[in-house]
Structure 1
Amino acid sequence: MLQKYDAASEVTDLDASDSSEKSPHPLSLFEFWPGSVFYTPIVLYWIAMGIRYGDFSVPSAANPRIETGGLCGESKSGILDMAGSIAKSWIAPYVVMDLSRTQREQDVERCLSLMKEHDLSFPVVLKPDIGCNGTGVKLVPYREALPGTLAQFPGGVKILIQDLIDKPVEAGLFYIREPDAPRGHITSITYKEAPLLHGDGKSTIEELIRNDLRTSLLPEIYLPRLRTRLQEIPPLGKEVQLVFAGNHCKGSIFRDGRADATDALTQRLDMILRDVPDFHFGRIDVKAASIAALRAGEDFQIIEINGVGSEATHIWDRRTTLWEAYRAQFYHYHQAFKIGAANRARGWKTCGALTMLRHWRKQRRLLASYPLND
């Protein structure tokens, strides 16, 4: 589960001191701008960098063993499968399954067989092998929920079945290491929290959402996910968690945690990611026992490794200014071009703009076919 965010009190369990630094508004200026608006300057920056380096796909060489460098359309399991024995010991157990195109009734037994073979037990998380922004991520708490959940995915797609890591802190760690550099550095840490409402014994879940300071501004995100429970009246004090997947655009709350980028955590990521061949740039999503454990580089597990297409997601903290967000975006994409160019000079090939476009179109088509995430 995500760390819980108390939407009613605007005080986060992750850092109680944040309550003394309340923003005058529960959302930042740009937090939910349309992508076509927010990302236009970033697209223009990418074009300028592509002209400068003579190839719009230079960042694909930043992680040259990953399809498109992890920009779009890459296989999540393909990245995790690259891990050596050291890195694998830090990755949450998973198995990959191809859903049948024609014999969907056999998917459940095949899934159970794969889980048994790889020593996985409920609860598990199902996620598309090709996807982004948490689209299609589903929690399966027990065996009886498996048939209905599998049936929501289209036939013929590949999914990951991953152990649900029962650690309270979820974080995204952005890591960059230049080719041949002995050490990398952490450029972003983001803590992810689940919005939480409290029942008053009188209001329905829909009314609680519409009356809350933050969630009332984003009903289109929360109401569809709880459509079967909207008229439920939670008892007084009962917690209602609004989202499972730790993605900002799907409703999770993001907090800037860059102050926790310790030397111990950096050394741990160096050890792990040097065991993922030629990985230089991307975000590692983890579950940790506590923030103190994360700072010490201990007691966490990796749930995903993302490449060039990942963001330094601390920019979605409501306290971040628009200028700070763009500065972070431009810095990271400049680093992607810089590292890609360095690898190109060492003999690695870029994927080419047409291949990027083909993978993007494939990913977009698949995203449209996935079920609504939990």
Structure 2
Amino acid sequence: MNLIKKIKNWEQWPFKILYAPIVPVWVWYMIRSRAIWFFTPSNPKLTFGGMEGEPKKEMHDLLPPHLCPVYFNVQPSEDFSVILKKVKEKNISFPLIVKPEVGGQGILFRKINNEEQLKNYHEQVPVEYFVQEFIKYELEVSLFYYRYPNEDKGVITGFLQKIPMQVTGDGIHTLEELIMMNSKSGKRIEELRLQHESNFKRVIKAGDKYMLSYAANHNRGAQFIDLRSEIDERLLKILDEISHSVNDFFYGRYDIMCNSIEELKEGKNFVILEYNGCGAEPNHFYDTGYTLKNAWKEILKHWKVLYQISRYNYKTGIGYWSAVKGFRFRIETKKHYKIMKAADKKIP
């Protein structure tokens, strides 16, 4: 029975299994382009087109400063006193956010509440990371956007509210019991034990929300709420303006914190946490009523756009990465992610 449930719950399938049946289409685009890394011209200013392994500061440097959170980069070898000095200079207060400079999927993403936690993270993290102010806007949203290079106006294909993994107390059950009762968090009990074991036996008051993670990623147990009905010309105008200011950003997903949807459409009170290039998943098919068949259709629709944008840019003189360059980059990126994943299992 459990096996049947796992098979039916396709949204929880491992990435490779979910995408395996449609891989031949990706191979066909490689053949048509005569390039293994046919997608690299899609976003010319992002390393590898933003498929994977791109530095976050590369993205931030392209954005207008007022749209970015306050942050600074840290090398794991830096003296901790220097980090504290930078925190004060940047006027960043606790709590704050830390996450790896090259990363994703919520790996090594942490909310840090005090100096002791920051020191503990710094002493154990093996890779470059950055310290970022904690944004206190009400909503985190995700918007998938693309624009053909020869057009001024783009398209928003998906709009979601992202709610990080949490449980709500009932005044009866302990945190551990609430976690096990939740369909998403119950599957991550060992991961959550590392970060929350000190509160496992605590009974959570009725109505109180307990945040289990601040990483609003689907593979980290976040819940997605479909906002596609909110997509309109005002919202598109905001993303068009941002994408033109970034220059040469044509395909990917924006993750934004905002005070409200209405204020976002007015261009007020929002911050871009990050934007992801051609490696961004059109994640609006999760939690929003898509069937597996329709999810595959949505992915294939986006792959076609990615191919078209990449091909257009190639014809204007932006070359594909060579096979050797791409393979070397991927090998190094995989080594980097392996190191991060190992550390993620140890750092509270």
Which TM-score applies when normalising by structure 1? Answer: 0.84
Is the aligned partner of 1:91 residue 2:71?
no
Matched with 1:186 is: 156
CA contact (8 A) 2:76 2:123 kept: no
Matched with 2:327 is: 357
Alignment of 1:1-374 (within 5 A): 29-83=9-63, 87-100=64-77, 106=79, 108-154=80-126, 157-216=127-186, 219=189, 222-370=192-340, 371-372=343-344
CA distance 1:240–1:122, shift in 2 (3 Å): closer
Give the deviation of 1:223 after TM superposition.
Answer: 4.5
Larger RCO, structure (CA 8 Å, separation 6 or more) = 1
Q: What percent identity do the matched residue pairs reach?
A: 29
Which TM-score applies when normalising by structure 2? Answer: 0.89
Deviations 1:83-136 (A, max 9, x none): 3xxx32212222222221xxx6x1x22222223333333322111111111111
Letter in 1 for 2:42: A
Letter in 2 for 1:146: L
CA contact (8 A) 1:72 1:359 kept: no
CA distance 1:140–1:224, shift in 2 (3 Å): closer
Give the deviation of 1:318 after TM superposition.
Answer: 4.8
Cα distance in 2, alignment partners of residues 116 and 71 from structure 1: 34
Cα distance in 1, alignment partners of residues 191 and 262 from structure 2: 32
Any gaps of 5 or more consecutive residues in structure 2? none
CA contact (8 A) 1:283 1:307 kept: yes
Give the deviation of 1:285 after TM superposition.
Answer: 0.6
Q: Secondary structure at the match of 1:354?
A: helix
Any gaps of 5 or more consecutive residues in structure 1? 1-24
Give the deviation of 1:202 after TM superposition.
Answer: 3.8
Give the deviation of 1:310 after TM superposition.
Answer: 0.6
Cα distance in 2, alignment partners of residues 364 and 190 from structure 1: 29
Give the deviation of 1:220 after TM superposition.
Answer: 5.5
> How many residues end up aligned between the 2 structures?
340
Q: Which has the higher helix share?
A: 2
Q: CA RMSD in A?
A: 2.4
CA distance 1:296–1:260, shift in 2 (3 Å): farther
Matched with 1:5 is: none
